Structure 1
Amino acid sequence: MFSSLRARLLLWLLVPLGASALLNIWFARREALNTATVVQDRLLLGSARIIAQQIQYEDGVLEVAIPPAALELFQSTEQDRVFYRIASARGVLLSGYAELPPPPSSLKPEESLHFSAVVRDQPVRVVAYAQPVFAAPDEGPVVIEVAQTYQAHRRLVRQIWATSLRQEAWMLALVAVLAWISLRRGLKGIVRLGDKVRERTPGSLEPLDPGPVPHELQPLVGAINGYVQRLDAQMAVRSRFIANASHQLRTPFTVLQTQVNFGLRSPEPGQKDEALRAIFQGVRSGTRLVNQLLSLSTAEAGVQHPRPPVPVNLVDLVQRVLEEQAALAQAKDIDLGLDLQTDRVEILASSSMLHELVANLVDNALRYTPAGGVVTVAVRRMEELVILRVEDNGPGIPPEDRARVFERFCRLHDDDTPGCGLGLSIVQEVAQALGAEVQLSDPAVGTGLVVTLVFPASPR
Structure 2
Amino acid sequence: MRPSFPASLRARLLLWLLLPLGALAALNLWLAFREARTTASRVQDRLLLGSARIIAQQIQYDDGVLEVAIPPAALELFESEDEDRVYYRIASARGALLSGYTELPAPPVALRPEESLAFDSMVRDQPVRVVAYAQPVFAAPAEGPVIIEVAQTFRAHDRMIQEIWAGSLRQGLWMLALASALLGLSLRWGLKGLVALRSIVRNRRPGSLEPLDPGPVPTELSPLVGAINDYVQRLDAQVAQRTRFIDNAAHQLRTPFAVLQTQVNFGLRTADSQQKGESLRAIFQEVRHGTRLVNQLLSLSRAEAGAQHPRPLAPTDLGEMAQRVLEELAGLAQARDIDLGLDPPAGPVPVAATSAMLHELVANLVDNALRYTPPGGTVTVGFRRENDAVALLVEDDGPGIPPADRVRVFERFCRLNEDGAPGCGLGLSIVQEIARALGAGVQLSEPASGQGLLVQVRFPVLPD
Q: CA deviation at 1:417?
A: 3.0
The superposition leaves residues 152-199 of structure 1 with CA deviations (integer Å, 9 ceiling, x where unpaired) of: 111101100100101110110011000000000000000000100011
Indicate the residue corresponding to 2:177 in structure 1: 173
Q: Which moved more, 1:37-46 or 1:25-34?
A: 25-34
Aligned to 1:358: 362
Q: Specify which of 400, 403, 406 is matched with residue 402 of structure 1.
A: 406
Q: Aligned-pair distance for 1:73? A: 0.5
In structure 1, the partner of 2:107 is 103
Contact 1:368-1:395 within 8 A present in 2 as well: yes
Q: 1:19 Cα shift?
A: 1.3
> What's the secondary structure of 2:213's corresponding residue?
coil
The range that moved more, 126-135 or 401-410, is 401-410
> What are the residue-to-residue correspondences of 1:92-131 with 2, within 5 Å?
92-131=96-135
1:260 aligns with 2:264: yes
Please state how far the C-alpha of 1:415 moved relative to its aligned partner. Answer: 3.4
Q: For the Cα contact (< 8 Å) 1:340–1:380, is it kept in 2?
A: no
Task: Encode CA deviations 1:12-40: one digit per residue, 9 max, x unaligned.
Answer: 01111111111111111111111101000
Q: 1:64 aligns with which of 49, 59, 68?
A: 68
Q: Kindly provide the CA deviation profile for residues 250-275 of structure 1, in whole angstroms up to 9, marking residues without a partner as x.
A: 01001111111112222233322222
Secondary structure of 1:340's aligned partner: coil
The amino acid of 1:214's aligned partner reads P
- Matches of 2:342 and 2:237 in 1, distance apart? 40
Q: Once the 2 structures are TM-superposed, how far is the Cα of residue 117 of structure 1 from its aligned partner?
A: 1.0
TM-score by length of 1: 0.98
Separation in structure 2 between the aligned mates of residue 437 and residue 304 of structure 1, nearest angstrom: 16
Unaligned runs of 5+ in 2: none
Structure 2 residue aligned with 1:327: 331
- 1:393 maps to 397
2:424 aligned partner? 420
Partner of 1:443: 447
Q: Cα–Cα, structure 1 residues 414 and 214, in superposed 2: closer, same or farther, change >3 Å?
A: closer
Preserved CA contact (<8 Å) 2:61 2:140? yes
Structure 1 CA distance, aligned partners of 2:211 and 2:243?
20
2:372 is matched with which residue?
A: 368
State the superposition RMSD in angstroms: 1.1
Bigger drift between 435-444 and 63-72 goes to 435-444
Q: CA deviation at 1:446?
A: 5.1
The aligned amino acid for 1:91 is G
- 1:305 equivalent in alignment to 2:300: no
Deviations 1:313-372 (CA, angstroms, capped at 9, x unpaired): 101111111111111011112111111232301111232222111111000000011112
- 1:397 positional shift: 1.3
1:454 to 450, 455, 458: 458
Does structure 1 residue 23 correspond to structure 2 residue 27?
yes
Q: Alignment partner of 1:451: what SS? A: strand
Check if 1:380 corresponds to 2:376. Answer: no
SS of equivalent residue, structure 1 residue 169: helix
Cα distance between partner residues in 1 of 2:363 and 2:230: 36
Rounded to whole Å, the distance in 2 between the matches of 1:272 and 1:297 is: 37
Q: Is the 8 A contact 2:319 2:345 kept in 1?
A: no
**Aligned counterparts of 2:463 and 2:149: Cα–Cα separation in 1:** 92
The residue matched to 1:236 in structure 2 has which SS? helix
- CA distance in 1 between counterparts of 2:171 and 2:234 reads 57
Residue 284 (structure 2) aligns with: 280
Could you tell me which residue of structure 2 aligns to residue 82 of structure 1? 86
- Asked if 1:2 corresponds to 2:16, the answer is no
TM superposition shift of 1:103:
0.6
The 3-state SS of whatever aligns with 1:98 is coil
Code of the aligned partner of 2:457: L
Residues 215-274 of structure 1 show CA distances to partners (whole Å, capped at 9, x for unaligned) of: 101111111111111111111111111111111100100111111111222223332222
Task: Give the counterpart letter for 1:120 in structure 2.
Answer: R
Question: What is the rounded CA distance, in whole Å, between the counterparts of 2:407 and 2:450 in structure 1?
Answer: 22
- How many angstroms apart in 2 are the aligned matches of 1:53 and 1:250? 123
Equivalent residues, number: 460
Report the TM-score, using the length of structure 2 for normalisation. Answer: 0.97
* Residue in structure 1 matched with residue 95 of structure 2 by the alignment: 91
SS in 1 for 2:343: strand
What's 2:294 paired with? 290
Cα distance in 1 between the residues matched to 2:264 and 2:15: 74
Aligned to 2:77: 73
Asked if 1:222 corresponds to 2:222, the answer is no
Q: How far, CA to CA, are the matches of 1:446 and 1:270 in structure 2?
A: 46
Matched, 1:54 2:58: yes
Q: Which moved more, 1:363-372 or 1:205-214?
A: 205-214
